[in-house]
Structure 1
Amino acid sequence: MMKFFMPTKVCSGKGCIVEHAAQLKTLGNKALIITGKKSAKANGSLHDVQAALDSLQIAYCVFDRINSNPSLATARDGARAAKEFGAEFVIGIGGGSAMDAAKAIAVLAFNELDDKTLFSGPYANPVLPIVAVPTTAGTGSEVTQYSILTDDRLETKSSIASEAIFPRIAFLDASYTEKLPVPVTINTAVDALSHAVEGYLSVKATEVSNILAAESMAIIGKCLPLLDKGPLGFAVREQLLYASMLAGMVIAHTGTTALHSMGYSLTYFKDIDHGRANGLLMHEYLEFIACHHADAVEKITGLLGMKNLSELKVCLDRLLKEKETISKQEAQRFSAKALQAKNLLNTIRKPAREDLEKIIAKSFAV
């Protein structure tokens, strides 16, 4: 049995927000824009969204307090802003942090929930409609039903998973990614790669999700050698954004796997960027999978245009450069945390705690 559901209307191309502004009018007359302090202003995305709203006489308020890895407290502050303004829909502008925060704010605006119920559901009241404007090419959050928030209670990142938070509309304009620093471009591209790879290796994978994952990996494989070679042209930026969206569609159906489970602790405890964390672990993770599913891993390296996992390791090592240092005790702690993550169950080869510790330790030469 197979189920495929992707309710987000995607508009793409340079200037797509202004060109398709009328789509916003279907969602309401008052919008809360959710973004960070600087990037949306610098890359022009905030200006374009405001211009589109002004042209439609839609009132708006800007909540620009989103930082990397947004917390539950930030989401609750945003929900209060939405209620006070009387927002009828929300617009998340930015990377995964802004879009994920927008989703949580959309839930909390009219639902009084404790932390546990926020992550588990159900929600008694409607969720505000969500518009997503990605300004990085990595998370794919514009086409998923997930919101990842920092959960200090559990000392990790926790996820909301509900079809109610699929964005209604996503505007994909790669021009907003043109000024990204090289490390951000690399980390987000590796994040998209991890989504496609993990979706391909998920117990929930289907023929449809594998087609999308394969296309995403093939595109990313062509782009990887270019990421640290100087300024990327618009065409490459557009391909990365497209591949990220495809990978988002993949994990919307397959979920992520043990790779993400392990990466969460690296981000929470070591402040390692999410995509970078996945990339640092990816080679050893795939070696672990290959012991039982060699054909699947061989297909992945082939789709990336590489001969084997060793070639992938060389590529990732070059892009990610010097690794952070972790101790043996940290490897033990992080593996124990990973074992508690829900997405671990999606992995086609189920790891024990010892397996997770070995992957982390070998990745960092502990």
Structure 2
Amino acid sequence: MTFRFYLPTQVFFGKGVLNEYGDFLGRLGRRSLVVTGRQSAVTSGALADFEVLAKRLGLSWVVFNEVPANPTLETVAKAVDLARQERVDLVIGIGGGSPLDTAKAVALLVPNRAAAARLYEADLPEPPLPLVAVPTTAGTGSEVTQHAVFTLPAREIKKGFSDDRCFPLAAWVDPRYTYSLPLAITIDTALDTLTHAMEGYLSRRSTPLSDTLALEAVRLFAGQKEALLAGNLLPATRRDLMYASTLGGMVIAQTRTTILHTMGYPLTYSHDIPHGRANGYLLAAYLEFIQPAEPVKVNNLLEALGMASLEDVQGLIRQLLPPLGKFPERELERMADLAATNTSSLTWTARQATSEDLLNMLRRSLG
């Protein structure tokens, strides 16, 4: 047995970890750029905790709080400009996946003097600025991955970017920062976690170690699915979902995501459906498509989820998410065509999908 598992991020998990283990920051830089959205860092309490820590360590900082739900490279460019103007030597991402992804791009671009618009094709030989992450949602797992996803309006798609140098050096993962999240967002992000774990488990790039983490993430979700259905979000639920999210991030750091994510991106870009929710709507059809190629693994996932069939999975999704109207055939064809252009995602998927296969999955989910 031979496999590779690379995870350079130091993870601190639990209540109050930023205060307890935050001194690590003092060894990374003296002036930081905090990259966040307009609300999450404040309402979660994470920004206040960071400010207390920074004052104690004698650090200075400037805040960039303009990251939207689906950031573009224009957002990245604004943050890069601020970082350069302020001569920062440390980048701190606080928030959900979008602020954390933006922070990764900023850390990489600033020392390389490259324009944000060239992120996907520029030569970036210089090492990035030190980067750390403080997640405030339980979904993306971006705090432990080298991936970032941005919206490209000219191409009407979302596209991932990966560079091993973009792993945060440290992640302070505190479930308390998710306490203020509404139920709908908690469900959406939990489904993002679930699909990370399932796609990673079913990926051609999976390893025995990533499989172990993936199944544990699915079990953690399964243990809290009744709480999500009841809207009973106790601290134990928040803790388990946060832990599952970080495990899911560790999984896709090794495996990346597959066609399920690729099919979901147009729903987010063109129809403003939150990312995790989009994945949820497509999940049962995706598992049904993969099952002939990986029957044992799909059954393992069902067992970990505490379900007997794919129909049970679809039933859970219908209970968790609001009803979704049917999409016109022409739009389904357009989304299938977009998904078919992501050759890497198709390659990593356990069963090779044709354009017609992609269209059929979209039809079963949205038609």
Where on the TM-score scale, by shorter chain, does this alignment land: which range? over 0.9
1:166 paired with 2:167, answer: yes
Kept after mapping to 1: 8 A contact 2:109/2:116: no
Separation in 1, partners of 2:325, 2:209:
37
Separation in 1, partners of 2:117, 2:14:
39
Please name the residue that 1:316 is paired with: 317
Which ranges in structure 2 are unaligned for 5 or more consecutive residues? none
1:118 paired with 2:136, answer: no
Q: Which consecutive segments of 4 or more residues in structure 1 shift more than 6 A?
A: none
**CA RMSD for the aligned pairs?**
1.2
Please name the residue that 2:241 is paired with: 240
Kept after mapping to 1: 8 A contact 2:107/2:131: yes
Q: How does 1:183-262 map to 2 (within 5 A)?
A: 183-262=184-263
Match of 2:350 among 348, 351, 354: 348
Please name the residue that 1:9 is paired with: 10
For residue 242 of structure 1, what is the amino acid of its counterpart? Y
| 1:122 CA displacement | 4.1
Give the match's secondary structure for 2:212: helix
Q: How does 1:284-363 map to 2 (within 5 A)?
A: 284-341=285-342, 342-363=344-365
Q: Deviations over 1:99-150 (max 9, x none)?
A: 0011111112122335675124541222111111110000000000001111
Kept after mapping to 2: 8 A contact 1:69/1:97: yes
Kept after mapping to 2: 8 A contact 1:8/1:169: yes
| 1:226 CA displacement | 1.2
Give the match's secondary structure for 1:119: coil
For residue 79 of structure 1, what is the amino acid of its counterpart? V
| 1:154 CA displacement | 2.1
Separation in 2, partners of 1:198, 1:266:
18
Count of residues in Structure 1 that have an aligned counterpart in Structure 2: 365
Cα distance, 1:251–1:121 mapped onto 2, change above 3 Å: farther
Cα distance, 1:315–1:260 mapped onto 2, change above 3 Å: same
Please name the residue that 2:133 is paired with: 132
Kept after mapping to 2: 8 A contact 1:257/1:346: yes
Cα distance, 1:116–1:87 mapped onto 2, change above 3 Å: closer
Give the match's secondary structure for 1:109: helix
| 1:330 CA displacement | 0.7
Cα distance, 1:115–1:357 mapped onto 2, change above 3 Å: farther
* TM-score between the two structures when normalised by the length of structure 2: 0.97
Cα distance, 1:116–1:72 mapped onto 2, change above 3 Å: closer
Separation in 2, partners of 1:26, 1:70:
30
Percent of aligned pairs sharing the same letter: 40
Which ranges in structure 1 are unaligned for 5 or more consecutive residues? none
